[in-house]
Amino acid sequence: MILNSRLILALDVLSRDRALHLATALKDRVDYVKVGYPLILAAGLDIVGEIARIAPVIADLKIADIPNTNTLICEEVLDSGAAGIIAHAFVGRDSLSACVEAAREAGGLVFAVTEMSHPGAEELMGPAAERLARMAADCGVDGVVAPATRPERISLVRSIVGERAIISPGVGVQGGSPSAALKAGADSLIVGRSITESPNPAASADAILREIR
Ligand code: XMP
């Protein structure tokens, strides 16, 4: 995984032109651009390849299906140019392993969600997060997604996943602190609206980069 700026841009915009503009303007400030359902549904899967020509893409499809379907989804999005994928761990070892195998075939990275950053994640995912992190590590993922909104959970996940990467959303609009998340053990921050909805996205990205340097 690339860890230069330690910043991943969450590109949740609905216009192809806006997405390409933001990716181009911010490519030197971020290690990856994370593209998910909002942009892919609005602009089509080709947007993955278009953005990948600007910066490496992590496809955040939170893949969560039976192993065969997971394999098909991973192959499709990795063939489209994604450098990495995000998959759910809660669906089980066989489904997550299918994603790992597909990523290995394509030379891509796979990240497993252990616990999400929003308040509702505390209902069911929180209590299961340690088991999910352990299972993800057993399956051989490259990294996990852990919440910047709960730095203490990042530390716990770090104690389980060892050297594997931890990427953390929840900074800014969701209330998480960039420096606290990194101090707790995150390798990289996933940041969306604080940058994409700013009147000056580059300046907002720079402010985060200054805080974490
Ligand atoms: P904002 O605008 O809140 O965007 O900075 C955050 C981005 O990260 C995604 N997200 C998550 N992805 N596990 C994930 O795999 C999570 O816990 C999680 N929380 C937020 C969100 O969809 C958006 O793209």
pLDDT, tens digit (0-9, with 9 covering 90-100), for 37-75 = 999 999 999 999 999 999 999 999 999 999 999 999 999
**Phi, psi for 113 (deg, rounded to 5):** -80, 125
Distance in angstroms (rounded) separating the CA atoms of residues 49 and 34:
12
**Hey, which of 7, 60, 173 would you mutate to test ligand 1's pocket, going by the most ligand atoms within 8 Å of its Cβ?**
60
Cα(54)–Cα(82) distance, rounded to whole angstroms? Answer: 12
Residue identifier of the C-alpha nearest atom 5 of ligand 1: 192
Q: What is the pTM of this model?
A: 0.96
Q: Looking at this predicted complex, what is its ipTM? A: 0.96
Per-residue pLDDT reduced to its tens digit, 157-201: 999 999 999 999 999 888 899 999 999 999 999 999 999 999 999
The minimum-distance atom of ligand 1 relative to the CA of 111 is 15
In degrees, rounded to 5, the angle at the alpha carbon of residue 139 between the alpha carbons of residues 52 and 105 is 40
169 alpha-carbon distance from chain centroid: 7
Q: Which domains does the chain have, with CATH numbers?
A: 7-212 (3.20.20.70)
From 17, 28, 62, 206, active-site residue: 62
